[in-house]
C-alpha cells in the first residue's frame, strides 16, 4: 500500500521516452551510433513558467530513476527519498526534480541488456563502449525534451557527481550549479583495481558466455554477486562495519567452525550480493565501471583549460571523512582545479561514520549544507528574474 506521508512526493511512476531513433541516432564520442535510445525517468514537483527551477539528479553506479516517493504497491521509497521531497533539502515545493536511469543501465534505459533491433537479440558486449560525455548527452536530450534550456542544479553522488562535472564542462550554459558529492575526477590505481576484480569475477563466471548469457538462458550470477559483495565493502567504513556487525555470529552465540556463513558480516554481504542479482545486469556493471575507470576530465589540462576559463557554474563539492572509496583527496583535487581556473567553488568535508554510503544517508550537517546551497541558487535565479 503506497503512502503519502509529510515530506514525501507520494505516489510516483517511471515514464519512458524515446530520445534517439533511426533518423536521429545517438552519436557516441567514439563515433559509434545507437538507436533507439529509450530513457526511463521520473519527475517530482512542477516546472515554473520560466522553466528555471529544474534540478537534475544523476544516480550512481547501480541507481535508477526512482529517486523519491513510492511506486504503487511498494513500501520502499526511492533511493534518495530522504533528500528529495516537500520541505526537504531538494524541495519539491520549489524545484522541478528530474531523475533518469543512465545510458547503459538496466532499469528501463537502453543498455547492453536491451534488444538490438539489427539482430533481435540483446546487445551484450556488442553495445558500444561509452564515456561520461555520452551519458551526459542523453541527460541533455531529456532536459531538451522536457523544454528546459538551463538547469538550476545537477546533483549527484559518486558516479552521479562525475556526470555533473562533465555536464558543466560539456555545456556550461546549461548548468547554473553542480552539487558533486564524494565524486572523483580521476580514479586511483586502487579504485580501478577494485573495479577490475569485480569485472574479472563476472567475466570468469562459466555462465558469462562472452556477454551473451541471456541467449543461453543463464546469467553470471556468482560473479555478479561476488562483484557486489566486494564493492559493498568499499562503500562502508571500517568503523561502520565494526559497529554494525563486529565479530558477532549470525545464528548462535558460539562459533560453528566451518566454511558456511557464520559471522553476521558474511550473512549481510551474501544478502547484498543475492538481492543485487534481482535488479542488476552483469553487462551493465562492466560498462558502467569502465566509464568511471576512463573518466579523467582534467587529464589533458591544455584541452580543458579553455572550458574552465569563464565557467560561471557554481560548484558545491562535498566529501565524507570516513569515505575511503573516494576519499576527500578526490574532492579536493576537483576543488583545486576549479579554483585555479577562477570557477566559484564551495567545499566541505563532512564528518560521518558511514563511509562512501554517507551520501545516501540522512547526515544532518550534509543535508543542511545542500539545503543552504540550493536555497541560495534558487534565490539568485528568482532575483535575476525580478531584476
- DSSP, collapsed to helix, strand or coil, labels residue 16 as strand
d(CA 134, CA 153): 19
**From residue 278, how far is each of 59, 207, 220, 271, 274 by CA, in Å?**
19, 16, 12, 11, 7
Closest CA to 85 of 155, 7, 2: 7
Which span sits near other proteins by CB under 8 A: 28-36, 149-157, 165-173, 376-384? 376-384
367 in contact with other proteins (CB under 8 A) = no
**Given candidates 209, 222, 367, 376, which one binds other proteins under the rule CB under 8 A?**
376
CA nearest 177: which of 41, 380, 387, 385? 380
Please state, in angstroms and rounded to a whole number, the distance separating the CA atoms of residues 167 and 321: 26
**Euclidean distance between CA atoms 166 and 172, whole angstroms:** 9
385 binds other proteins (CB under 8 A): no
Instruction: Candidates 9, 345, 360, 381: give the one binding other proteins (CB under 8 A).
Output: 345
Task: CB nearer to other proteins: give 150 or 332.
Answer: 332
| Least distance in angstroms from the C-beta of 88 to other proteins | 17
Report the alpha-carbon distance of residue 55 to residue 66 in Å, rounded.
15
Which of the following is catalytic: 139, 330, 354, 356? 356
Q: Residue 154: beta bridge partners? A: 56, 178
SS3 268: helix
* CA distance to 19, 37, 42, 110, per residue, from 26 (Å): 8, 7, 21, 11
Selected binder of other proteins within 4, 303, 305, 340 (CB under 8 A): 340
Q: Which residue, 293 or 321, has its beta carbon nearer to other proteins?
A: 321
* Segment 242-245 long-range contacts (CB within 8 Å, at least 24 positions apart): 243/353, 244/268
Q: Which is nearer to other proteins, 222 or 332 (CB)?
A: 332
Pick from 42, 61, 35: nearest CA to 114: 35
Q: Helix, strand, or coil here: 115?
A: strand
Catalytic status, residue 384: no
Say whether 52 is catalytic: no
**Residue with cell string 567475466:** 203
Ramachandran region of residue 327, left (φ > 0), alpha (ψ -120 to 50) or beta? beta
* Least Å from the CB of residue 58 to other proteins: 22
Q: Nearest to residue 223, comparing CAs of 259, 263, 268, 277?
A: 277
Considering only the stretches 27-35, 208-216, 224-232, 375-383, report the one whose residues sit in contact with other proteins under the rule CB under 8 A. Answer: 375-383
Q: Please identify which residue in 230, 321, 346, 361 interacts with other proteins, judged by CB under 8 A.
A: 346
Of 41, 208, 347, 366, the one binding other proteins by CB under 8 A: 347
**Interaction between residue 366 and other proteins (CB under 8 A):** no
349 near 331, Cβ under 8 Å?
A: yes
Q: Smallest gap, in angstroms, from Cβ of residue 44 to other proteins?
A: 24
Could you say which of 126, 145, 368, 385 contacts other proteins (CB under 8 A)? Answer: 368
Residue 375 touching other proteins (CB under 8 A): yes
The nearest distance, CB 332 to other proteins, in angstroms, is 6
| Residue with smaller CB distance to other proteins, 25 or 353 | 353
Specify the residue, 283 or 331, whose C-beta has the smaller distance to other proteins.
331
Q: What is the DSSP letter of 70?
A: B
344 sits near other proteins (criterion: CB under 8 A): yes
CB-nearer residue toward other proteins: 173 or 372: 372
Beta strands 96-100 and 345-350 are: unpaired
Smallest separation (angstroms) from other proteins to the CB of 43: 27
- 331 an active-site residue? no
Of residues 15 and 365, the one with the C-beta less far from other proteins? 365
Q: Which is nearer to other proteins, 232 or 336 (CB)?
A: 336
Q: Which residues pair with 348 in a beta bridge?
A: 318
Fill in the per-residue mask, 312 to 331: x = in contact with other proteins (CB under 8 A), - = not in contact.
--xx----------------
Q: Which of 170, 293, 380, 382 binds other proteins (CB under 8 A)?
A: 380
Catalytic residues: 158, 323, 356
Residues lying near other proteins in the complex (CB under 8 A)? 314-315, 332, 335-336, 339-340, 342, 344-349, 365, 368-369, 372-373, 375-376, 379-380
Amino acid at each position: 500500500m503506497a503512502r503519502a506521508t509529510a515530506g514525501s512526493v507520494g505516489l510516483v511512476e517511471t515514464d519512458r521516452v524515446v530520445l534517439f531513433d533511426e533518423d536521429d541516432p545517438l552519436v557516441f564520442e567514439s563515433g559509434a551510433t545507437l538507436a533507439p535510445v529509450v530513457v526511463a525517468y521520473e519527475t517530482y514537483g512542477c516546472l515554473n513558467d520560466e522553466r528555471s527551477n529544474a534540478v537534475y539528479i544523476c544516480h550512481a553506479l547501480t541507481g535508477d530513476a526512482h529517486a523519491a516517493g513510492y511506486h504503487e504497491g511498494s513500501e520502499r521509497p526511492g533511493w534518495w527519498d530522504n533528500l528529495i521531497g516537500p520541505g526537504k533539502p531538494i524541495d519539491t515545493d520549489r524545484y522541478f526534480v528530474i531523475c533518469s536511469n543512465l545510458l547503459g543501465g538496466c532499469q528501463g534505459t537502453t543498455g547492453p541488456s536491451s534488444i538490438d533491433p539489427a539482430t533481435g537479440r540483446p546487445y551484450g558486449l556488442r553495445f558500444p563502449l561509452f564515456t561520461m560525455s555520452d551519458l551526459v548527452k542523453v541527460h541533455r536530450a531529456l532536459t531538451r525534451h522536457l523544454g528546459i534550456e538551463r538547469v538550476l542544479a545537477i546533483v549527484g553522488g559518486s558516479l552521479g557527481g562525475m556526470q555533473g562535472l562533465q555536464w558543466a564542462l560539456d555545456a556550461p550554459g546549461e548548468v547554473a550549479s553542480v552539487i558533486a558529492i564524494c565524486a572523483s575526477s580521476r580514479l586511483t590505481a586502487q579504485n580501478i583495481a577494485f573495479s577490475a576484480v569485480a569485472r574479472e569475477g563476472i567475466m570468469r563466471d562459466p555462465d558469462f558466455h562472452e556477454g551473451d548469457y541471456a541467449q543461453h538462458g543463464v546469467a553470471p550470477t556468482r560473479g555478479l554477486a561476488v562483484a557486489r559483495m566486494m564493492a559493498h565493502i568499499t562503500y562502508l567504513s571500517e568503523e561502520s562495519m565494526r559497529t554494525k556487525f563486529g565479530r558477532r555470529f549470525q545464528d548462535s552465540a558460539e562459533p560453528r567452525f566451518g566454511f558456511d556463513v557464520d559471522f553476521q558480516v558474511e550473512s549481510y554481504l551474501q544478502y547484498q550480493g543475492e538481492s543485487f542479482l534481482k535488479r542488476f545486469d552483469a553487462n551493465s556493471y562492466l560498462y558502467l565501471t569502465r566509464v568511471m575507470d576512463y573518466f579523467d576530465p582534467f587529464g589533458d589540462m591544455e584541452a580543458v583549460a579553455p572550458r574552465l576559463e569563464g565557467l560561471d557554474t557554481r560548484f558545491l563539492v562535498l566529501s565524507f571523512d570516513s569515505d575511503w572509496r573516494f576519499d576527500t583527496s578526490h574532492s579536493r583535487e576537483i576543488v583545486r582545479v576549479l579554483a585555479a581556473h577562477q570557477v566559484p567553488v564551495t567545499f566541505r568535508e563532512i564528518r560521518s561514520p558511514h563511509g562512501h554510503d554517507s551520501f545516501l544517508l540522512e547526515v544532518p550537517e550534509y543535508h543542511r549544507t545542500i539545503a543552504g546551497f540550493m536555497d541560495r541558487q534558487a534565490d539568485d535565479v528568482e532575483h535575476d528574474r525580478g531584476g
